[in-house]
Amino acid sequence: MTSSKIVEEFALNVKVIAGPDGDGKEIAVKWMKKFEQSICSVLVVLLRKTAAMTISIQQIFDDLISNLQMKNEDASDQSDDLYSKKTAIILMRELFTEYMAYNDPNNDSLASKRLPEIKTVCGDIINDLISNTKDDLLLEEIIELCSKRARLFSPKKNCDDKIFMTIWNHLRFTDPRKTELLNACAECILTYIEELKV
């Protein structure tokens, strides 16, 4: 598919999503989700393989989750806020997956340049999301990200007490009927413990 064709399809799907409900809306939403996933994947590859970029990982996330910075509830739409969180989660998941599978010894120096910023930036974002997210399904995704982060950055070297304690509190106080959320919390805590043993 040519770049002009992609732009045309993007514009068309945006119009369908913004318009009244109809049969094409569900298809348009699916197309946008795939497009979003593709963009995040491309961005991750660029971050890993490009030695010098004028934009930092912090700036990328600042742009993606700009709605989270708006403290005035009247100025921020709830659906936009949720979309921003989902986008940030997708990018972090791609980053963690890419770096966990990263085993090219010839590029270790390049990886080491990226990892410290990823560790700090993603840790701050996860801490904010896990403390302020009320949606159970989204919370499960965030907690699963914590498990990946613990595998990538050994807690022995960088144990994030705030994140760990927040997950522990979710495990203690979540409704027992919310088994999937509880399982995500328990798995994350076990991951932290296993990584601490290494």
Tell me the pLDDT tens digit for each residue of 70-119. 433 444 455 555 667 777 888 888 778 777 766 554 555 555 667 778 88
Nearest residue to 169 via CA among 131, 126, 136, 116:
131
* Max avg pLDDT among 52-56, 121-125, 132-136: 121-125
Place of tokens 């996933």: 37
By percentage, how much of the chain surpasses pLDDT 70?
Answer: 56
Asked, for residue 13, whether it belongs to a domain, the answer is yes
Which parts of the chain fold into alpha helices (H)? 3-18, 23-49, 57-64, 78-100, 108-132, 136-152, 155-158, 161-173, 179-197
Number of separate domains in the chain? 1
pLDDT at 106: 52
Torsion from C-alpha of 66, 67, 69, 71, nearest 10 degrees? 160
Query: Under 8 Å CB-to-CB from 159, ≥6 apart: which residues?
Result: 192, 196
Query: How would residue 50 be classed by pLDDT, with cut points 50, 70 and 90?
Result: low
| Domain assignment of residue 42, given as a range | 3-48+60-65+79-196
Asked, for residue 124, whether it belongs to a domain, the answer is yes
pLDDT above 50 for 66: yes
Nearest residue to 116 via CA among 95, 145, 143, 130:
95
Output the average pLDDT for the chain: 71
Asked, for residue 72, whether it belongs to a domain, the answer is no
Asked, for residue 53, whether it belongs to a domain, the answer is no
